[in-house]
Structure 1
Amino acid sequence: LLDFVVQAAPNVLQPRTKKVKKGDEEVTLPAGEEKPFLAAVFKILTDPYVGRLAFFRVYAGKVAVGDTFHNPRVGRNERVGSLYKMMGKEQKGVDELVAGEFGAISKIEDIKIGDTLCSSEDVLVIEPPRFPEPMVSYAVIPKSRGDEEKISTALSRLAEEDPTFVAKWEHETGELVIRGNSTLHLDMMMKRLRRRFGVEIETRLPKIAYRETVTAKAEGHYKHKKQTGGRGQYGEVYLRVEPLERGKGYEFVDAVVGGAIPRQFIPSVEKGVQKAMEKGVMAGFPVQDVKVTVYDGTHHSVDSDDYSFRLAGERAFHDGMSKARPVLLEPIVDIEVVAPTKYMGDIISDLNSRRARITGTETLADQQVIRAKAPLSEVLTYSTQLRSITGGEGTYTITFSHYDIVPPNIAQQIVERTKAEKEQQK
């Protein structure tokens, strides 16, 4: 045990083997109080009396109240206003910290876990720790109306203190989503939210960001004509909608000849198409992987304007898409599971039940690595199931892969559920 202590926690005055960055080159981590100041931040905490505290370890040199230090991440010098040594929950103010000591600094806003603090005359960067990507997500709903801003501020503070906890507003689904390493991790963060900030929240599984696309070529048409006395509105658009290769996004082609639609109105038609693509014809999800070709139309020398052609482009796209065999797309993720070999059969069987496609397996000692592609909607609660199968011995990671077509029977259920939710919101 003592040998391990010597190896893991060497004397700060002894030469090190650890490397740090100096510009583009690697140098040995300096040791000793006589060296330029060098420290690394390992914890952030918001104290109700002192404010924001950054905890750090001094690797070399020393720092005193009134000194300045450099933060390479932001490229800025900061002045030390106060220093503390932590005594449990209490802070003891000190004038100086030297190599080997742990301490805290307050009232510096732009400082994060993993930041290097160093002398501006000798800028070194200690490689920040790598944290696991959060795998479990909940959508957050305030229990009391009017708490939205308070909850958002509190979650931001918790995210600053814990790099494995993320809180983000998802504009596409209109939800505030929190992410963590496990359901237990998120449960602890919610208790901390209630205890420290006095706010209550409810959670549910987050909505899936589905998309819509087309699988066939079709033509769309719309004529906008309105006369209300005086100058009217007029614009007519013919366009063609066809599928693009998955992941290509969107392509707009102007194939109008002979001035059927004047040049100055083509951008208005495209704006109308882009607006229509924000909400597809099946369930109102964004549209992607579509090519739109405008090939004909008519205009009026007096009544035609930007608005008329924008509206005609929007309605013509909806008309064309509804005829082009629209389908739903769902996000597919790459999932990698690592667990003891004895659980391999149960894990693969469970993944198959989640519409996953096994892409490979690998043996590492007594561990089995299983790689698969699966719909995100099927693995939102996978952490609980994997823990149940392996007794807590399995781990997994998820990364986004691509969008793919939802099977028709499942797509129908999604469309019906989405329409019902929109009706309830009215």
Structure 2
Amino acid sequence: MPLSSSINCGNFHDKIVEKVQGVQPLLDGVLSYLPCPTEVSNYALDQTKNEEKVELAGTPVGPLVALAFKLEEGRFGQLTYLSYVSHFFNRIYEGVIRKGDFIININTGKKVKVPRLVRLHSNEMEDIQEAHAGQIVAVFGVDCASGDTFTDGSVKYTMTSMNVPEPVMSLAVSPVSKDSGGQFSKALNRFQREDPTFRVGLDAESGQVGMHTIISGMGELHLDIYVERIRREYKVDATVGKPRVNFRETVTQRAEFDYLHKKQSGGQGQYGRVCGYVEPLPTGSPTKFEFENNIVGQAIPSNFVPAIEKGFKEAANSGSLIGYPVENIRIVLTDGASHAVDSSELAFKLAAIYAFRQCYTAAKPVILEPVMLVELKAPTEFQGTVIGDINKRKGLIVGNDQEGDDSVVTAHVPLNNMFGYSTSLRSMTQGKGEFTMEYKEHSPVSNDVQMQLVNTYKATKAAE
């Protein structure tokens, strides 16, 4: 029988149309999330015009504007001794980039040469001489961080800045062997470049470099992954401390200060008086610390005012409740006094530090804790158990929807109550539950929690 006579052409056509129509929503989704780079509107911020929004043409004609959006230590990374990053992936939004060109990192102001330009497909690299707007390429030998913008120097544009929230959890880590300190530092430097939400600092109380390194991130899992990467990729065994939630402190009412720092110990003494008040910033304020100099006249010489501001900032780095940074405060300087001989920058800085400590208690300080937006998904049969557990963790249920046979619960939960939650959720739901968690805000803790945290802090300080 001929092939043509064995097929009903009408039915065959209908089946093809049905298949295409079934795939069309998927294709529409792909086009929506991954459009042609030259057919979408991309915007940059003009740094010479107070970050005015500028639409990019998305064509090779025009100034070069490129974004470093991913860093990776590739197969040739160990040959670059001055840089932990062997190359960065670069998305070109406008203009042309060529091998041998000099480009400027707008974020750092550094001018660098493009030594090698490659196009990547899977794990294969193809050397190219130039790349145009809309393409993604990799550049070797360029020192930068994720989110840096590069231009040819004719414009001072940066791509829309990323919203990087403050870390909500910290972890003390240190290399087991002193000999691996170099690799340990190399790993931390690389991770900071790759991930703007990953921070590295030192324990302010110990001040011992390398022995009390504090890594901070967006959660328990986030930090666990980086500790594992240190071990796996850099062969460094690390000692890990207990995760610590990043609390904050703030004030709730205005409080006056009037402090005179006077010290005489033979020779030139120290003299500085500062007067003013501290108050909370309005809700939603874009800044966390403000300093205003409202002194009329020359009660305090203007050259000492920066030292006073520095003293208040330093004092705000450690609140008296539990030793965490104080934020959302405004310091207003209204008056003061100086001495022709004994006044100095150090004297006024110390006066500011003591003045802040003097008025802090009167400003009714409170402790702020990070609150997370948690979304849970579990079979409906476990809904009651899951919600009950969230309530025990002092979470606030803000949404409860049905998705097929699953219940989707949205809640705001204090991060301090979410330790080990993945294990608890698996136990409650026979391994069928899952959740996502992201930072929402810092909110005041309850009175009983504040009292508990303050007592724990005092006991720790007394033990030291």
On whether the aligned pair clears a TM of 0.5, the verdict is yes
Q: State which drifts further: 197-206 or 284-293.
A: 197-206
Distance 2:136 2:77 in 1: 30
Partner residue, 1:391: 430
2:239 aligned with 1:223, yes or no?
A: no
| Residue type at the aligned position of 1:211 | R
Q: How much has 1:213 moved relative to structure 2?
A: 1.4
Change (3 A) 1:135 1:306: closer
| Residue type at the aligned position of 1:169 | V
2:210 aligned with 1:200, yes or no?
A: no
Q: How much has 1:148 moved relative to structure 2?
A: 3.9
Partner residue, 2:393: 354
| SS state at 2:244 partner | coil
Equivalent residues of 2:250, 2:328 under 8 A apart: yes
Q: How much has 1:48 moved relative to structure 2?
A: 11
Change (3 A) 1:45 1:365: farther
Q: How much has 1:292 moved relative to structure 2?
A: 2.1
| SS state at 2:388 partner | helix
Distance 2:86 2:268 in 1: 65
Distance 2:190 2:306 in 1: 44
Distance 1:204 1:218 in 2: 38
| Residue type at the aligned position of 1:151 | F
One of 168, 173, 184 as aligned partner of 1:140: 173
Change (3 A) 1:334 1:195: closer
One of 120, 134, 142 as aligned partner of 2:130: 120
Q: How much has 1:144 moved relative to structure 2?
A: 3.5
| SS state at 2:343 partner | coil
Q: TM-score, normalised by structure 2?
A: 0.60
Q: How much has 1:315 moved relative to structure 2?
A: 0.8
Change (3 A) 1:78 1:346: farther
Equivalent residues of 1:20, 1:126 under 8 A apart: no
Partner residue, 1:241: 278
Partner residue, 1:417: 456
| Residue type at the aligned position of 1:319 | Q
One of 262, 282, 290 as aligned partner of 2:321: 282
Equivalent residues of 2:192, 2:200 under 8 A apart: no
Partner residue, 2:379: 340
Change (3 A) 1:255 1:118: same
| SS state at 1:239 partner | strand
Per-residue CA shift, 1:120-174, capped at 9, x if unaligned? 35554479xxxxxx999865343334534323435777999xx99x864256885
| SS state at 1:147 partner | helix
Q: How much has 1:321 moved relative to structure 2?
A: 0.7
Equivalent residues of 1:118, 1:124 under 8 A apart: no
Change (3 A) 1:369 1:136: farther
Distance 2:190 2:270 in 1: 52
Distance 2:393 2:248 in 1: 20
2:402 aligned with 1:363, yes or no?
A: yes
Equivalent residues of 2:168, 2:245 under 8 A apart: no
Per-residue CA shift, 1:73-126, capped at 9, x if unaligned? x99966589x9xxxxxxxxxxxxx9xxx865459xxxxxxxxxx9773555447
Change (3 A) 1:154 1:236: closer
One of 223, 236, 246 as aligned partner of 1:209: 246
Distance 1:288 1:260 in 2: 28
Distance 2:168 2:281 in 1: 31
Distance 2:445 2:431 in 1: 32
- 1:30-41 equivalent positions in 2, closer than 5 A: none
Q: How much has 1:53 moved relative to structure 2?
A: 10
Aligned sequence identity (%): 32
Q: How much has 1:391 moved relative to structure 2?
A: 2.9
Q: How much has 1:319 moved relative to structure 2?
A: 0.3
Distance 1:371 1:296 in 2: 50
Partner residue, 1:262: 301
Partner residue, 2:155: none
2:200 aligned with 1:169, yes or no?
A: yes
Q: How much has 1:358 moved relative to structure 2?
A: 1.1
Distance 1:212 1:135 in 2: 14
Equivalent residues of 1:21, 1:126 under 8 A apart: no
Distance 1:214 1:242 in 2: 7
Partner residue, 1:315: 354
Per-residue CA shift, 1:20-63, capped at 9, x if unaligned? 4247479xxxxxxxxxxxxxx9x976699999999x9xxxxxxx
Partner residue, 2:269: 232
Change (3 A) 1:419 1:19: same
Distance 2:192 2:303 in 1: 48
Change (3 A) 1:270 1:390: same
Partner residue, 1:29: none
Equivalent residues of 2:291, 2:331 under 8 A apart: yes
Equivalent residues of 2:199, 2:217 under 8 A apart: yes
Equivalent residues of 1:143, 1:202 under 8 A apart: yes
State the Cα RMSD in Å: 4.7
Identify unmatched segments of 5+ residues in structure 2.
1-19, 21-29, 43-69, 90-98, 106-111, 138-166, 205-212
Whichever structure has more helix as a proportion of its residues is: 2
Equivalent residues of 1:172, 1:209 under 8 A apart: no
Per-residue CA shift, 1:364-410, capped at 9, x if unaligned? 22232211111111113222222222233222222222211122222
| SS state at 1:388 partner | helix
Distance 2:173 2:386 in 1: 30
Equivalent residues of 1:219, 1:239 under 8 A apart: yes
Q: TM-score, normalised by structure 1?
A: 0.64
| Residue type at the aligned position of 2:264 | Q
Partner residue, 1:21: 37
Change (3 A) 1:253 1:175: same
